[in-house]
Structure 1
Amino acid sequence: MYIPDIYKNENQEEIRTFLVQNSFGILVNQTNGKLCATHIPLELDTNKEGKEILLGHISKENPQWKGFADSDQILAIFSGPHSYISPSWYNHENVPTWNYIAVHVYGKIKIIEGEAVTNSLKKLVDKYEQHSENPVRIEDLSKKTMIQTRGIVAFEIEIQEIQATKKMSQNRDDIDHATIILELEKTENSQSVAVANEMKKCRK
């Protein structure tokens, strides 16, 4: 991913927090000579060897998984808040742009089976059920229901490289930066307000 130095995020703790909070990503690989992409949750975890991984699964009906054997190289893309930035918000003439946060994770994928699949699903369900009034637990599901796991391909991705960008008008002076935040908040658009909040963190 092309990242100008001013927008490069190298804060590892911040990046990992972002991956946990924005885990619905895009899994990209090559299958049968074509690029394939699937939108799925990819959960940050650590394997038995202490290496950072992403856990996920896709349907067996999805042909993307058949490319895992030909090449284990994978790209996972994660996006955060983003918003259009109008040049009318500057105190000088300029061009429009876009503020956004994105993380690319490169790694090696391998299919997992057996108990590892159940453990992966348990971590996923526990994370998203924790705030439910009546949380569902994998351990409580019947064998009949769990048979459906035969229809998925579960995997883990050993992380080899992470590239992160955080474009939040870092190149603007304090006056323009403050004005952009005010204008974003005026939109009352959830994405724009989220960008405004991220911008505030950059100038603390």
Structure 2
Amino acid sequence: MYIPKYYRMDHNEAVQMMKSNPFALLVTVDGERPLATHLPLDIREEEGKIFATGHIAYGNRQKKTLDPHREVLLIFQRPHAYISSSWYEVEEVPTWDYLAVHAYGTARVISGDELRSALDSMLQHYESHRENGRLWDTFDPELLESEMKGIVGFEIEITDIQAAAKMSQNRSDTDYKSIVAELEKSNEQGETQVARWMREKRKELFK
């Protein structure tokens, strides 16, 4: 991903974004054709390394590309918004602000107890805070075993992270405040979230 220097996201912020927005796009290559699947992941850090675990449907042909000798790509995206150049002091062209993380790594298929542990961990992440959350041991074991036959589990060791926060950092303080003000008028959740992120980055402008 092409990222100008002033749009590069801090590594720790990128990892936190992956953890807080774990619904990603898994991209692999089958021969010369790219394949992609949208799926939830469980992101964890362990001994200085970052891992993503998840699963795809058994019938998904992408399972055949989950090979430790092939690189895979995970794409994470947060709010984005169209930025009108009518909000600038000086005549300019419009643009688009966004947050995105591209995480490269190698994948291996997991099964048996390792897959059970990964699914248990994912349920803990998404269900433990809910009233009457459905954790692993609340399901009928036969149902779980049956459902596991319909999926292929995987673990990706992430080896390279490229993260962009293109959020009008190159604009003057006047333009920056104008962009935030205009975005905050919107009823679109993504646009107001972009405005919130921008406020946080230049708090001194909004006191």
Q: 1:148 to 1:59 in 2, by over 3 A?
A: same
1:51-200 equivalences under 5 Å are 51-69=49-67, 71-146=69-144, 147-200=146-199
Distance 2:43 2:169 in 1: 28
Identity between Structure 1 and Structure 2 (%): 41
**Amino acid in the other structure paired with 1:76:** L
Residue deviations 1:132-190, cap 9 Å, x none? Answer: 22100112211221121111110100111000000110000101100100000001211
TM-score by length of 2: 0.93
Q: Is the 8 A contact 1:79 1:102 kept in 2?
A: yes
> Once the 2 structures are TM-superposed, how far is the Cα of residue 17 of structure 1 from its aligned partner?
1.3
- List alignment gaps of at least 5 residues for structure 2: none
Residue deviations 1:39-64, cap 9 Å, x none? Answer: 001221145x6531111110110000
**Partner SS for 2:130:** coil
Q: Is the 8 A contact 1:87 1:93 kept in 2?
A: yes
Superposed CA RMSD? 1.4
Q: Is the 8 A contact 1:72 1:110 kept in 2?
A: no
Partner of 2:6: 6
Q: Is the 8 A contact 2:21 2:78 kept in 1?
A: yes
Distance 1:23 1:203 in 2: 26
Distance 2:130 2:39 in 1: 21
**Partner SS for 1:187:** coil
> Once the 2 structures are TM-superposed, how far is the Cα of residue 33 of structure 1 from its aligned partner?
3.2
Q: Is the 8 A contact 1:26 1:37 kept in 2?
A: yes
Distance 2:25 2:88 in 1: 34
Q: Is the 8 A contact 2:68 2:106 kept in 1?
A: no
Give the paired residue count.
202
**Partner SS for 1:180:** helix
1:26-65 equivalences under 5 Å are 26-46=25-45, 51-65=49-63
